[in-house]
């Protein structure tokens, strides 16, 4: 949960985020964004 009590998806205790420029299933535009963010596979 987030500090405000709302739910937050997480993997191994790390929060997961949606990249705003991914518009459809399978988009990976955020992968390696700023050499920091990476796609998580199911």
Identify the pLDDT of residue 23: 92
Q: pLDDT by residue (tens digit) across 1-42?
A: 888 999 999 988 888 888 999 999 889 999 999 998 888 877
Domain that holds residue 4: 1-42
C-alpha span between 5 and 7 (Å, rounded): 7
Domain count, the chain: 1
Q: Which of 9, 7, 3, 8 is CA-nearest to residue 40?
A: 9
CA distances 14 to 8, 24, 29, 34, Å, are 10, 24, 20, 18
């Amino acid at each position: 949960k987030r500090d405000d009590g709302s739910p937050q998806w997480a993997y191994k205790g790390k929060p997961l985020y949606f990249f705003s420029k991914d518009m459809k299933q399978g988009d990976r535009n955020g992968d390696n964004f700023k050499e920091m963010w990476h796609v998580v596979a199911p």
